[in-house]
Structure 1
Amino acid sequence: MRALCWHGKSDVRVDTVPDPKIQDPGDAIVRITTTCICGSDLHLYDGFMPTMEAGDVLGHEPMGIVEEVGKSVTKLKPGDRVVVPFTISCGSCWFCERKMYSLCDRSNPNAEIARKAMGQSPAGLFGYSHMLGGFPGGQAEYLRVPFADVGPVKIPDGLPDEKVVFLSDIFPTGYMGAENAEIESGDTVAVWGCGPVAQFAIQSAWMLGAGRVIAIDRVPERLEMSRRHGKAETINFDEVGVYDQLMEMTKGRGPDRCIDAVGAEAHSTGAVDAVLDKAKTAVGMATDRAHALREAIMCCRKGGTVSVPGVYIGYPDKIPFGAAMNKGLTFKMGQTHVQRYTQPLLEKIQSGHIDPSFVITHTVPLKDAPQMYKTFSDKKDGCIKVVLKP
């Protein structure tokens, strides 16, 4: 089959690789009809994620048609149309039983590598390094799905792929980011970043009762999407200081809830911490550029909540932890427990409450994926969300 493979920093290629096969009775094989490039894929493309190996198949936002199932699979059959969560979860360990699916104890065969880096291993993820399982991803013609009775959600007829494919990651991720922010009715919510996850965090903040949503970025088309589809007030950090602007907008108190939807590769205009981050990551002295997180901590009101759906890699430094402690902030974060959210969010799509396809700016065949990674990374051509059609 054809698949998009990682070969090093800024080097991804469409290669011919072996077709996936059933390896466990709980597996399914899915023929991919639609998949996507995620912002967190850029951490791999830009060379920040360790334990990648040449030839690794990328991608963790797939959906398609079930072609084959293992003998113990009971909930799926060939011909079913499914969305596949990016988190691989067994459904029966201590964490899965408590619906903390991204912390599954059983799905990462390379748990010892992750344990050395993190203390304990989270769940395995599709297409996201050998530390997190070494599972081939979904930017391919076919995908092996372990624990197939736990992850995939069946999609009813009449809903196009473009409306539901984001149940694999970014819609649940944005929703969990807003949920973790502990939004109360009437709260002012500030969202750092206006990429795809942030767009769904904005939408979800309204669903959860926000009174105001303020979106922060510098890319004009992302800010415009936040205004037009997210009904958000916006701050362009190239034009004004974020802290001063937020204080003015909130009469000096600060936003009640702050969501860092940027993660490890934050940008800034001239801030000293961001300049240091860029220099240190360029020479391998750091793994993360954490300007957005630092700024969220400093801007958040006393007693507020900082939610972090943005992906971090390792050891970001210069975190103003004294400010966080003395201001009494609450932090909630984590990879998304996707399986907890797929069904309720599917119901919101079916009811017409939301059409997630608004984030799509580019739809291309799989063969064009390498160029689209560069376009997306460079934020060229108005690129916000890329859909691939294997």
Structure 2
Amino acid sequence: MKLKNKLLLTGAATMAALFLGLNANAARMDMVDVSNNNGYMSTAEYVSMRNEFGVKALTVKISEGSTYKDPYAASNIANGQAAGLYVNGYHFARYATKTQAIAEADFAGQTAKTAGLPVGAVLATDVESQEANNQSQATNDRNNSAFMKEIQKFGYRADIYTSGSWANNKMTIKGKTGWIAAYPYVVSGKNWYSTNHAWQWSSTAKFRISYGGFDVSQLNSNYYTAGQKSMVKPTNKGAVKANNRKANKKNYQPSTNAKWVKETKTYTLNTAVKLRTGASTSSNAITILPAGTTIKTDRAIIQGGYRWVRQPRFNGYGYLATGPTSNTLEYVKSGATHTYYTVKSGDSWWTIAQRNGLSMTTLASQNGKSIYTTIYPGQQLVVR
């Protein structure tokens, strides 16, 4: 990321920091965002996030493009509200023209209404796709403006989510707007993007009773908590402080036995993947590679719980995870798409795994879960 120095709080940002009780030495886990990738999330999980980690707000994936509706949006909204969190939504943008942006906003707004997203919530446009990457900054600005203007017709407040490398490069992000993603190697001591609404500082945060990694953000204003009544506050302030300090620490320890091996291979990304400066989930993100991107690699290594590949670039190398160490290619499939199975009443991890020629551990892992996670009828699981 281009931003290297700690930002100073001035004006409205200072007031927002005072309002939120900013601790300049540690980024906070104010907001978590979830999607189908996280599977079914219970009210108990959201209550734990609130009480033990200080999560105030939840932002739920609603839709993507002009046809995809996130199957877990309704349950995430309902369960997040039941836990007393401020609930918002986001739409993964695929538009390349103003007409497409308006059509996607209409689709997202209608889908959000059906899923139960409350009026007054934020419904952000998540702009990181190949379609946006192919456009000029002026075109992206025009399209984003059209989306946000249209989404307000449904009673939602608008915002833009994008990566730090795209902000004011691929699109304009003005002060007092924007939700920006940037993942420093060591978080403590920085307050990045303090003049924007939110800074997403990790994509691998862990919560005590939830499986897998989560995207977490610090709120630098009250934009994502406005318009909805907060029913419950954290009950364990000591745990909140301790868990935030732990999340801020550099926790990646490279394996002393891991060695790079030669791998000349071409991958086609099945979903958006973060290209990093090193083979670690704690390494800075260079950019977000959109789904459909083709990359060529020259080395591979297994370390830190993931299988990593190295991509030669004009000014060095980029690194991305192709999946967990079991090499099930959870995040990347070479020229393939996922096959899903819909859970039926009476199903278990064992019966579904046996039916699809998998071990229970592999099945759970490629769905971002453990074999101890409860599954529910109607839930979709990746089986291929």
**Normalising TM by the smaller chain, what interval?**
under 0.3
Using the size of structure 1 for normalisation, the TM-score is: 0.26
Using the size of structure 2 for normalisation, the TM-score is: 0.26
Which has more helix, going by share of residues? 1
Which has more strand, going by share of residues? 2
